[in-house]
């Protein structure tokens, strides 16, 4: 068996919480990694909470974010997050920074969290 833990970096984008409004994560720096994936984990939905996930990218940490083109994603995000589900989407774009956006479209809330898994590290083992 090969160890994966020493070959990836994991950064919390959205702390697990009950979200009642659109959530935009902080910038996640991909410097030193050649691949990334977004993992979104959901729990209960209250009053038909309808949230749409997306990934944005930029060359600058604080500005210039645009939605990642479908061609730079491996897999796709759902039109709306479902309760008690896990979603995994790969990022193959070339920008240094990414961030997640969970947009509230209607309803009240969803329990959710998101993690960015950074892979293909330039330096191993990853701390």
Domain-located, residue 16: yes
Q: Is the pLDDT of residue 24 over 80?
A: yes
Q: Residue 100: give the domain boundaries.
A: 5-120
CB distance 120 to 33 below 8 Å: yes
Whether residue 30 is contained in a domain is answered as: yes
Question: Each residue of 31-47: pLDDT tens digit?
Answer: 999 999 999 999 999 99
Q: How many domains does the chain have?
A: 1
Does a structural domain hold residue 66? yes
pTM of the model: 0.94
What 3-state DSSP class applies to 5?
Answer: helix
pLDDT of residue 7 exceeding 70, the answer is yes
pLDDT category at 124 given cuts 50, 70, 90 is confident
Nearest-angstrom CA–CA distance, 67 and 21: 19
Does 75 reside within a domain?
Answer: yes
Please compute the mean of the pLDDT values over residues 108-123 and round it to a whole number. 95
Note whether 91 and 36 are within 8 A (CB).
Answer: yes
């Amino acid at each position: 068996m090969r160890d994966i833990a020493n070959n990836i970096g994991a950064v919390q984008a959205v702390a697990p919480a009950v979200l009642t409004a659109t959530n935009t994560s902080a910038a996640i720096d991909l410097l030193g990694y050649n691949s990334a994936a977004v993992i979104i984990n959901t729990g209960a939905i209250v009053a038909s909470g309808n949230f749409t996930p997306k990934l944005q990218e930029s060359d600058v940490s604080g500005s210039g974010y645009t939605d990642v083109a479908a061609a730079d994603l491996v897999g796709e995000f759902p039109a709306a997050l479902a309760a008690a589900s896990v979603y995994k989407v790969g990022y193959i774009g070339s920008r240094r920074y990414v961030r997640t956006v969970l947009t509230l479209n209607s309803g009240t809330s969803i329990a959710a969290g998101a993690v960015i898994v950074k892979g293909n590290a330039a330096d191993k083992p990853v701390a």
